[in-house]
């Protein structure tokens, strides 16, 4: 499965920060039940890889890692069973490592120069990050002219209210967001409410 096909499975990719790996499987089940199958577990906690690995065992879930910064992150993620990786930026070294590992990578970009570097390395599906601070949907609309062959997944500051504005753009296939799994609901184990939020997000078309 390539990055483009992953981006087309649902309009929202949950961006998850998990402190307790025991929460991973029930969280994944709740999100999948709500129609969100592609799950990004950020490498921001010591539990991230264990949590991501637990999610891979949930039927219907496609689990990968986010905040991958270098080849070592990609290698550890691949070994733990990651099915894809997401990075906040892009370097040629990172891109080459992902290809060597046959690990689908969604690299982050913010400027036109970033896009050109990633495109030159063969990457045409990109994460626009941080979306709000980088110019939001207006910037992505502007990018659609010179970069007509690029598809984006904007992430960073997006919520249920703003998601449809991004998804209405022709060059946006999906958005990334943490609002679908609020930390307080995860800590409470309120999986039913997370499923409800996920169902609403799965219908977030522009």
Catalytic residues: 40, 127
- Rounded Cα distance between 201 and 204, Å, is 5
Tokens at 77, concatenated: 């993620």
User: Cα(188)–Cα(171) distance, rounded to whole angstroms?
Assistant: 37
Q: For the beta carbon of residue 120, count every other beta carbon within 10 angstroms.
A: 10
Q: Among 2, 13, 32, 62, which residue's Cα sits nearest to residue 172? A: 13
Helix, strand or coil for residue 94? helix
Residues 153/172, Cβ–Cβ less than 8 Å: yes
For 144, residues 6+ apart whose C-beta sits below 8 A from its C-beta are 169, 170, 171
Backbone dihedral region of 133: left (phi > 0), alpha (psi from -120 to 50 degrees) or beta? alpha
Q: Which residues, at least 6 apart from 87, have a Cβ–Cβ distance to it below 8 Å?
A: 66, 67, 68, 69, 94, 105, 106, 107, 108, 127
């Amino acid at each position: 499965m390539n990055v483009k096909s992953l981006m087309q499975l649902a309009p929202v990719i949950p961006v998850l920060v998990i402190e307790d790996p025991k929460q991973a499987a029930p969280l994944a089940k709740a999100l999948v039940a709500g129609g969100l199958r592609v799950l990004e577990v950020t490498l921001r906690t010591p539990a991230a890889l264990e949590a991501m690995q637990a999610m891979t065992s949930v039927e219907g879930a496609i689990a990968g890692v986010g905040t991958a910064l270098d080849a070592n992150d990609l290698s550890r993620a691949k070994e733990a069973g990651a099915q894809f990786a997401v990075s906040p930026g892009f370097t040629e070294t990172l891109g080459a490592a992902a290809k060597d590992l046959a690990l689908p990578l969604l690299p982050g970009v913010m400027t036109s120069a970033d896009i050109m570097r990633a495109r030159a390395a063969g990457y045409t599906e990109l994460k626009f990050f941080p979306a709000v601070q980088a110019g939001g949907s207006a910037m992505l609309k502007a990018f659609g002219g010179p970069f007509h062959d690029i598809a984006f997944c904007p992430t960073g500051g997006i919520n249920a209210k703003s998601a449809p504005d991004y998804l209405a753009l022709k060059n946006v296939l999906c958005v990334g967001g943490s609002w679908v799994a609020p930390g307080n609901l995860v800590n409470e184990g309120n999986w039913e409410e997370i499923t409800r939020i996920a169902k609403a997000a799965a219908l977030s078309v522009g």
